[in-house]
Each structure stands twice: as structure tokens, then as C-alpha cells.
Structure 1
């Protein structure tokens, strides 16, 4: 596997795992912080909610985009390597 494509896949898997953990623990984390801070923490919990929602909405799509980028990088790197070696498909010359 091409090194850049491999890095994209590794980052995508990390984002998927982190996104799944964020989805599973967001409510628990929010409730823990809200209980500890009391009724006067409304501004802080509003900011926390915004940040956590942003994470939940961005981690999975970013991971999916990285997987797509890895596929494209791998496809283009193998095509260019095959054309350099001369083992690739014959090109038509116009």
C-alpha cells in the first residue's frame, strides 16, 4: 500500500473510533458536567453542547473522506507505477 494512502486509512480509522466513542459518551459527559457545575453553568454547557455536536457531525464524514482519498491515492499511484514500468495497459497513440 502506498504510504500516503496508508496514513489516510489510519487517520480515518482513528476518526471512526473517536467518533463512535464521542457518540456513546457525549450524553454521559454532558450530564456529569451539568451535575457538577449546577444550575449556573448554562453558558458553559451550551458551549460544550455546541462543541460536542460539532465533533459528532464532523468525525464520521471526515473519516469517510479520508477513506475515499486513500482509494484515489492508491489507484493513481498504482497506475503511475505501472505506466513507468511499462507493465501497464498499452496506450493508444493518436
Structure 2
């Protein structure tokens, strides 16, 4: 009995880079607005975070990348651009 390994073609580098940039901005704005709403920091033009709330924002961004890539098979924009590596 022969084991077959199915290899998917690797995605183009531009897809991976563009997905990472879009993921960062998406996570930054979504988590930024969320943290600013909860802890105060919303402004007319967006949000302004400092100190602990800013650290929480960056921790959430890192957690987004780790959790989505490790446990969910890729981030939102990697799925949209089909930029997941096999």
C-alpha cells in the first residue's frame, strides 16, 4: 500500500504579504475601537489609547495572529486571498 501525499501549490508571495498587511490593519482598527469603547479613548476621528489600554490592544493583535494561524487554519485575509501555506 502506497501513501500518497497531496501537495498544494504555494501561494504567491504578494498574496501572503498583502494578507498580512490587511490583517494587521483590520485587527488594529477592530480591537482598537473595542478597547477604546470599553476603557474610554474614542475620539471623533477614531481612538486614542495610551498606557495599559494600548498594551492590551497590541496583545490582542498578537493573539489574533497566533490563535487564527495556529488553531483556525489561517487569518481572515489569508482565507480571502487564499494565501495559506500547506
Range into which the TM-score falls when normalised by the shorter chain: 0.3 to 0.5
User: Larger radius of gyration, structure 1 or 2?
Assistant: 1
Question: What is the TM-score with the length of structure 1 in the denominator?
Answer: 0.34
TM-score (norm 2): 0.36
- Identify the structure with the greater strand proportion: 2
Q: Which has the higher contact order (CA 8 A, sep 6+)?
A: 1
